[in-house]
Structure 1
Amino acid sequence: MPDYEYTALTVAGDTVAKTLQADSRKAAVAQLTSEGLTLVRLDECGGVPGEQGVALVPEAGRVPASSRESFTRQLSSLLAAGVPLATALYRLAKEAHSEVAGRVWQAIHDLIADGTSLADAMNQFPRVFPRVHIAMVRAGEKGGFLALVLEQISDFQARERDLRGRIVAALVYPAVLAVLSVGAVIFLLAFFIPRFEAMFSDFGATLPLLTRLIMGTSAWIRQWGLVVALVVACALLAIREWGASERGRRHWEALLLGLPVFGVLTARLAMTRFCRMFGTLLKAGVPLVSALDVAERSLGNQVLVDAVHEGGQHVRQGSRLADSLSQCTLLFPGSVVEIISVAEQAGRLDDELIRLADTTEKEVDRRLRMAVALAEPALLFVMAGIIGTIVIGMVLPIFALQDYIR
């Protein structure tokens, strides 16, 4: 039984370098993966460095989202054309435009050559492939329609890229306005107001309540501002680490779904992915239960995945799809369940699911544009109110001084 030297990352992000015994490279990878480790490098002891060792995780840099999207789409096309998986991965690794992407594709190829499944190979690169994509690939491999799943993943990536681009473009002006407004408020409180304190201290009379509140806030920010900023930064880092854990991620996803506006948009986007994936798989002739298994994994939110999976158990036991999905009211409103029920009875479930995805996507896009359009004047109103309050608070004592002189 050969010995293997490995370097891996723990769940906490620490690097470990040890030696283990295994029957083969595949067995070594499986053993380390089962322990929750993310492999960085695996070498057989006594082997020639650089020949038998495989760098499993890029040492530096990130794979661009465009490279990941291109990889998924091209791999789908090659598999649909009948090219073997290992050959397709080898070609993509050689033709990668990014050096980091080329190393990742080559590492996946080497893992596949050692007998690892594509989903398990992708799972070694959590910074490259999202969990939802890996889950969908795993289901596609299991059901024998991997090329179709990869095509849908690439379509999802393109749609999300377009949506993200529209949102960023719409938020540029409000974001710049918010930064400038916050900067102006900090400047007024930290540098402008202190200049008036000496003058107001010689005033001799009681200052207006608003002025005293503003001056007290200014003094508090000058004394504790850096401490508060440091505490907030530490809290954000702690929340980020907590959100990276399985339990924290589940609580965070549940919290997002509970938000008034954002939660509804998140659920609608998830429903769009579900319906499009489900309808496309059914249209391609994939059995209902297998298509449902992949579609529920495409939701991306574990709370929704669990809810749909629980309802899907009834479908696996022979119940109607609409009756099962009606139990997940957060994801499927009553009107959507009714449409699915009618389509299921009419035998056109695939077409209706795709149509639902298209209409829901347009509705989400319209709501996002409306939310951004409303956020801009609301932000202007709030910032103008804050700055105006500060200015008025500083002017009131001057008017009082004029009345006192008269």
Structure 2
Amino acid sequence: MAHFRYKGRTSQGLEQQGVIEGINELAVTEQLIRRGIMPTQIQPSHAAGTTDWSLLFERQVRLEDLVMFSRQMYALTRAGIPILRAMAGLAESTPSQLLKTALAQIGDDLGNGKPLSSAMQAHPKVFNTLFIAIIHVGENTGQLEDAFKQLAEYLELELETRKRIKTAMRYPIFVVMALVMAMVVLNIFVIPTFASLFAKFGAELPWTTRFLLATSHLFVNYWHWMLGGTLGVIVLWRRWVSTPEGRYTWHSWQLRLMIVGPIITRTLLGRFARSFAMMLRAGVPLNTAITLVADAVDNAWMGKRIHDMRSAIESGDSLLRTAMHSQLFPPLVLQMIAVGEETGQIEHLMQEVAEYYEREVDYDLKSLTARIEPVLICIVAGMVLILALGIFTPMWDLMSVVKGK
């Protein structure tokens, strides 16, 4: 299909412009009228790829925008508003340019007869596979409004968890940044002043002083190499993590980190349980639900083991046996899965597991600062001790020599 650049006005008189895909100008005119836009100008566009340069800088839709979109779609579909009209209205009001463009194109696809889930599949940066699967089930069962409600509740809990993690990490990150700034200032401005003083006396210096002088010399004379090396390490690290092998290894290391590793593990298990419960409650088949949940946990190491669970289930094993062999889940989750298989209520028990882990994570995050504080205090105390021994010890020696003379 060709791309056409258009200008027009809505029923409220607001001016609209953009690029739309269509067979010819007549088809584009019909699409715009269905979206509530009266075209005033339509001409072929040679920019087939990017309609807005801001899209190049907006790599992914914020979770807050998806929560608001799901809530609004739930309210509109529950009120009986047609999907096409709802998409057109939300496309005009959403603050995200990436989401706005996606909704406009989805509206065009709906006007051409595509199902909603199929239209969303063309925008993987906006809607992930879990989102699309829930919408697909809602379409086929006639419960689209319930699908949007489930997605809104799930995304709101995910957003709340992320906010709690950011709040808990704010204090440690601030302290670490302050320590780094203090090290830079001391090595560049403070220690060189004492170095010139010590050099005048020519006395033998203790190892702590020699260590401080060496680090200061490194900062002052090779700061550009250090900056370039740091940037190079960051670039190489990001490239390595972006590879499948690097991402898998890094995600496995995350679960073994001191203090925060158990918190990450509980967060992922809670996400697994809630996603799995939502999938089963929506009517998604078990094998498909496991595949979607493996992507939803956002951890390559755990996702691979969840994918292995699907292969074992397809070979005839039960969910409980595959969960035990995966070595991912503690006895609590395994017991819930066993009871759920016996009673046929896995989704309800997985919901209970998710709520349990969310409470655990909430408690862990509240006490995270108290756990990290001793480590930070030890680091600060070590820095102060080295500075005190490295600067004041030779000064005391020099004062004693002066007094002796």
TM-score (norm 2): 0.76
Task: Give the Cα–Cα distance (whole angstroms) in 2 for the partners of residues 370 and 67 of structure 1.
Answer: 30
Where does residue 356 of structure 2 map in the other structure?
359
Where does residue 30 of structure 1 map in the other structure?
none
Q: CA deviation at 1:358?
A: 0.4
Query: 1:10-43: per-residue Cα shift (whole Å, max 9, x none)?
Result: xxxxxxxxxxxxxxxxxxxxxxxxxxxxxx9775
Distance 1:181 1:249, change over 3 A: closer
Give the alignment of 1:90-129 within 5 angstroms: 90-98=88-96, 101-114=99-112, 118=116, 121-122=119-120, 124-125=122-123, 128-129=125-126
Distance 1:346 1:86, change over 3 A: same
Distance 1:293 1:150, change over 3 A: farther
Q: 1:345 aligns with which of 339, 342, 346?
A: 342
Q: Is the 8 A contact 2:164 2:362 kept in 1?
A: no
Q: CA deviation at 1:278?
A: 2.5
Distance 1:270 1:114, change over 3 A: farther
Where does residue 198 of structure 1 map in the other structure?
196
Q: 2:133 aligns with which of 128, 136, 139?
A: 139
Task: Give the Cα–Cα distance (whole angstroms) in 2 for the partners of residues 52 and 95 of structure 1.
Answer: 27
SS of the residue 1:338 aligns to = helix
Q: CA deviation at 1:395?
A: 0.7
Q: Is the 8 A contact 2:135 2:148 kept in 1?
A: no
Where does residue 24 of structure 1 map in the other structure?
none
Gaps of 5+ in 2: 5-17, 26-41
Q: Is the 8 A contact 2:71 2:149 kept in 1?
A: yes
Q: Is the 8 A contact 2:3 2:46 kept in 1?
A: no
Q: Is the 8 A contact 1:137 1:150 kept in 2?
A: no
Q: Which amino acid aligns with 1:173?
A: Y
Q: 2:399 aligns with which of 376, 394, 402?
A: 402
| Deviates most, 49-58 or 144-153 | 49-58
What percentage of residue pairs aligned between the two structures are identical?
Answer: 25
| Deviates most, 212-221 or 114-123 | 114-123
Distance 1:46 1:241, change over 3 A: farther
Task: Give the Cα–Cα distance (whole angstroms) in 2 for the partners of residues 303 and 119 of structure 1.
Answer: 29
Task: Give the Cα–Cα distance (whole angstroms) in 2 for the partners of residues 83 and 298 of structure 1.
Answer: 30
TM-score (norm 1): 0.76
Give the alignment of 1:320-339 within 5 angstroms: 320-330=318-328, 332-339=329-336
SS of the residue 1:327 aligns to = helix
Q: CA deviation at 1:102?
A: 2.8
Distance 1:122 1:233, change over 3 A: farther
Are 1:156 and 2:154 an aligned pair?
Answer: yes
Q: CA deviation at 1:342?
A: 2.4
Q: Is the 8 A contact 2:270 2:355 kept in 1?
A: yes
Q: Is the 8 A contact 1:343 1:349 kept in 2?
A: yes
Task: Give the Cα–Cα distance (whole angstroms) in 1 for the partners of residues 82 and 114 of structure 2.
Answer: 14
Distance 1:365 1:218, change over 3 A: same
Distance 1:134 1:98, change over 3 A: closer
Cα RMSD after superposing both structures: 3.5
SS of the residue 2:173 aligns to = helix
Where does residue 177 of structure 1 map in the other structure?
175
SS of the residue 2:53 aligns to = coil
Q: CA deviation at 1:305?
A: 2.6
Q: 1:373 aligns with which of 370, 384, 392?
A: 370
SS of the residue 1:193 aligns to = helix
Gaps of 5+ in 1: 7-39
SS of the residue 1:49 aligns to = strand
Q: CA deviation at 1:179?
A: 2.4
Give the alignment of 1:231-246 within 5 angstroms: 231-246=229-244
Task: Give the Cα–Cα distance (whole angstroms) in 2 for the partners of residues 356 and 400 of structure 1.
Answer: 64
Distance 1:165 1:286, change over 3 A: closer
Where does residue 300 of structure 2 map in the other structure?
302
Distance 1:154 1:311, change over 3 A: same
Q: Which amino acid aligns with 2:354?
A: A
Distance 1:337 1:90, change over 3 A: same
Query: 1:336-365: per-residue Cα shift (whole Å, max 9, x none)?
Result: 212311232133323211111100111122
Q: CA deviation at 1:285?
A: 5.2
Are 1:392 and 2:383 an aligned pair?
Answer: no
Query: 1:167-192: per-residue Cα shift (whole Å, max 9, x none)?
Result: 33333333333322322222111111
Distance 1:291 1:45, change over 3 A: closer
| Deviates most, 347-356 or 251-260 | 251-260
Q: CA deviation at 1:211?
A: 0.8
Q: CA deviation at 1:93?
A: 1.5
